[in-house]
Amino acid sequence: MTFARFAVSIAALLIVGAALGVSADESTFAWVDHDGTVRQTSSTNPLNVTRIKTGHYCFNKQHETACYYCWASVSVTLQHGGSPMPGNLGFATANTGWGDDCNPYGGTSVTTFDRNGQPADFPFTMIVMTSY
């Protein structure tokens, strides 16, 4: 996925979110490398991402450790070389509540898996839409 296509996807999701009553200034996004490095994030609500172990990434709003994004709607897409993953090479889940190893980092997480269900490091894009 090129950055232009990524930006258009973000804009479309924010428009849909606005139609559903989600404030764009509370929503955010990130493009994250397999090692947890944030390649791109929102300038108004930037995210911190911390890779704590294989395939397990914690995220929170920069400069906050509280569970700011608990119960938010999160969409995650695995990436491969800047493009969506070809075929079924893996999948991702998001935990937007407390109860895993990300509690010290804000309690919200993304976990990426290979096609066999084993944790694996993959780059991914994510959109977080809040409504409070």
Q: What is the pLDDT of residues 5-48, one digit of tens each?
A: 555 555 555 554 444 444 455 688 999 999 999 999 988 888 88
Predicted pLDDT of residue 15: 53
Domain that holds residue 8: 3-129
| Cα gap 131→69, rounded to integer Å | 10
Q: What is the pLDDT of residues 92-108, one digit of tens each?
A: 998 876 667 888 887 78
The pLDDT of residue 51 is above 70: yes
Which residue do the tokens 């920069």 mark?
62
Report the half-sphere exposure of 22 (CA within 13 A, side-chain side).
Answer: 19
Tally of domains within the chain: 1
